[in-house]
């Protein structure tokens, strides 16, 4: 069960604490990732690392949401892309700070509350009723397991309760209420003139020097992404096999040639130490021979050289 946060933190003080914790992390780790990449993590909240994989996953989700909202009107530029990256990273850091605070403070979500919250999600409903099959299908399409999603959603419910409690405990002053009313009721009159550039193209006279100067001052606007032209030949063994006929006689001939070549090149080098002993040697002589062999074996193990 979720525990009350009012005993721990209230009002604007809660947001101040979260902001003070979050800002240092937002300023550390992101720049090198945005420009170079390859770091083991893009940011670190206490001992928890935000990995490039987690950042890329969140960035892809944010881009998908923006493209769904704005369609073809979504700006496409490096500057705009960097703004989105910074916003995504700030959100990941804030989320991790809230998760750590919730875990340290001991906030829990009961299983029954988690089940009720998941069953209320419209994406998992068919004809207004929760569908287990649809639930599993949606998670599979997102590459997530039920265990992973439920753990993530449980954490999200815990932190959302903290956020909602902090926001609900805020106090609005009379001056703030008056400003809000004024903003909601304000009206602005705007006048504008629309210029059609096509109407002025024929009248404009631009010299080569002016064009060159404008290009030099705005060269970054005329830069194209780096491109490379490649030529290559792709060879696939399965295609070559179908074009080269091989019969049983050719296979046997190639095998026999390989065996003959291997035999002609085979070389072996061996050396041995012989301890002579008569066939009718006595037990004492056999014992002496065994001792001599043991001594030689010991000297070989110690690196002795008997090649002379």
d(CA 243, CA 236): 11
Residue 298 reports pLDDT greater than 80: yes
Tell me the whole-structure pTM to 2 decimals.
0.41
pLDDT tens-digit readout, 198-214: 878 778 888 899 889 98
Residue 11 reports pLDDT greater than 50: no
pLDDT tens-digit readout, 48-67: 888 888 888 888 888 888 88
pLDDT tens-digit readout, 123-160: 899 998 999 999 999 888 888 888 888 988 888 888 88
Mean residue pLDDT across the chain: 79
- Residue with the bigger pLDDT between 147 and 225: it is 147
Residue 98: predicted pLDDT: 85
Which CATH architecture best describes the domain 11-170?
Answer: Orthogonal Bundle (1.10)
Residue 118 reports pLDDT greater than 80: yes
Domain locations along the chain: 11-170, 273-308
Task: Please state, for a pLDDT cut of 70, what percent of the chain lies above it.
Answer: 85
273, 296 in Cβ contact below 8 A? Answer: yes
- Residue with the bigger pLDDT between 12 and 245: it is 245
pLDDT tens-digit readout, 70-108: 877 777 778 888 888 999 999 899 888 888 888 888 878
Residue 308: predicted pLDDT: 54
Residue 35: predicted pLDDT: 45
Residue 32: predicted pLDDT: 44
Task: Please state, for a pLDDT cut of 90, what percent of the chain lies above it.
Answer: 8
């Amino acid at each position: 069960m979720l525990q009350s946060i009012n005993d721990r933190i209230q009002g604007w003080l809660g947001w101040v604490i979260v902001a003070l914790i979050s800002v240092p992390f937002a300023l550390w780790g992101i720049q090198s990732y945005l420009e170079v990449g390859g770091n083991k993590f893009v940011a670190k909240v206490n001992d928890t690392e935000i990995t490039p994989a987690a950042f890329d996953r969140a960035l892809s989700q944010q881009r998908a949401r923006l493209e769904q909202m704005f369609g073809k009107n979504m700006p496409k530029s490096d500057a705009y892309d960097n703004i989105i990256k910074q916003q995504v990273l700030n959100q990941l850091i804030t989320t991790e700070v809230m998760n750590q605070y919730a875990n340290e403070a001991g906030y829990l979500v009961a299983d029954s509350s988690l089940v009720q919250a998941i069953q209320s999600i419209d994406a998992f409903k068919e004809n207004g009723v929760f569908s287990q099959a649809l639930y599993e299908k949606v998670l599979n399409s997102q590459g997530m397991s039920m265990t992973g999603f439920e753990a993530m959603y449980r954490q999200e419910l815990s932190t959302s309760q903290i956020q909602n409690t902090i926001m609900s405990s805020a106090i609005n002053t009379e001056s703030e209420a008056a400003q809000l009313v004024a903003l909601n009721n304000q009206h602005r009159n705007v006048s504008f003139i629309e210029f059609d550039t096509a109407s002025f193209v024929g009248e404009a006279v631009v010299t080569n020097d002016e064009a060159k100067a404008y290009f030099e001052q705005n060269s970054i606007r005329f830069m194209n992404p780096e491109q490379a032209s490649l030529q290559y030949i792709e060879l696939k063994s399965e295609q070559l096999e179908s074009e080269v006929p091989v019969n049983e006689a050719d296979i046997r001939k190639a095998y026999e040639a390989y065996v003959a070549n291997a035999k002609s090149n085979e070389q072996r080098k061996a050396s041995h130490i012989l301890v002579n002993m008569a066939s009718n040697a006595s037990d004492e002589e056999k014992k002496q021979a065994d001792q001599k062999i043991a001594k030689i074996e010991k000297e070989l193990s110690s690196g002795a050289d008997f090649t002379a």
